[in-house]
Amino acid sequence: MTQKVAILGAAGRIAKLAEPILLEKGMDLVLYAPHPRKIDSDIRENEHVQVVEGDVMETGKLAEAIRGASVVYANLAGSTDNDHPNTVDQAESVVDAMKSAKVSRLIWISSLGIYDEVPGVYGDWNRKTLGHILVEYAEAAKVIEESGLDYTIIRPAWLTDNDEVSYEITQKGEPFKGTEVSRLSVATVVAEIINNPEQNINESLGIDKPGTDGDKPSWM
């Protein structure tokens, strides 16, 4: 039976890298995005893709879009504008929609540092740089962890556009090792988890590139 995957924030940069990988694995995709024209045309027009225009805060519409999916992959960033939903609001809407649609498997993109797990000077820099955004990401992760869903939270290091797949994984409770990772590496991890949905359940995974230990990402 073909696996149906719902991708929220489907026009996001990591999601756009994961989509062709998932299609190559023979999956059907529901791509949910407020601006679907930003999704690559060859993906939008694929016969195994359904595109739905919508905001994740439209909880009822979101529930209908994801109904029948075996997994939801949320590639969301929230807003720094107080007049628009932040990451916590989005997490609560996604959880409500999934429960309404009776979909239990969630992959949620978060950020390094939400558990204060980044050590040293780099950890101090990361906290100061992300500020209240990091606090919101941490609160959103708590919403996911307390939701009762089968979740995997992914905490990438600072992201690069390098055309490479090179990563290492740390678990929640372990110090974060590196400083950066490619978006393609994160997309690859997402695709591997979706392809093996019984693995990494109720886990929070740190993703970074091996050998990038240091005070700051190399591009700074």
Count up the domains in the chain and report the number. 1
CA gap 181, 161 in Å, rounded: 9
Instruction: Classify residue 50: in a domain, yes or no.
Output: yes
**Residue 109 in tokens:** 């993109």
The two beta strands, 168-171 and 158-160, are: unpaired
> What domain range is 40 assigned to?
4-208
Q: Are 130 and 111 in contact (CB under 8 A)?
A: yes
pLDDT at 137: 96
Backbone torsion region of residue 216, taken as left when φ is above 0, otherwise alpha when ψ lies between -120 and 50, otherwise beta: beta
Instruction: Classify residue 84: in a domain, yes or no.
Output: yes
Instruction: Classify residue 160: in a domain, yes or no.
Output: yes
pLDDT at 212: 75
Closest CA to 138 of 153, 125, 150: 153
Instruction: Classify residue 214: in a domain, yes or no.
Output: no
pLDDT at 80: 58
| pTM summary value | 0.94
pLDDT at 214: 62
pLDDT at 153: 98
What angle, rounded to 10 degrees, do the helices at 59-66 and 87-101 form? 50
pLDDT in tens, the chain (220 residues): 679 999 999 999 999 999 999 999 999 999 999 999 999 999 999 999 999 999 999 999 999 999 999 999 999 986 656 556 799 999 999 999 999 999 999 999 999 999 999 999 899 999 999 999 999 999 999 999 999 999 999 999 999 999 999 999 999 999 998 999 999 999 999 999 999 988 999 999 999 999 777 666 665 6
Whichever domain contains 124, its CATH number is 3.40.50.720
Instruction: Classify residue 81: in a domain, yes or no.
Output: yes
Instruction: Classify residue 197: in a domain, yes or no.
Output: yes
Q: Which 8-state DSSP code applies to residue 91? A: H
CA gap 162, 23 in Å, rounded: 22
pLDDT at 197: 86
Instruction: Classify residue 219: in a domain, yes or no.
Output: no
Which ranges of the chain does DSSP label H, i.e. alpha helix? 13-24, 41-44, 59-66, 87-101, 120-130, 132-145, 183-195
pLDDT at 195: 94
Instruction: Classify residue 193: in a domain, yes or no.
Output: yes
Closest CA to 101 of 137, 76, 69: 69
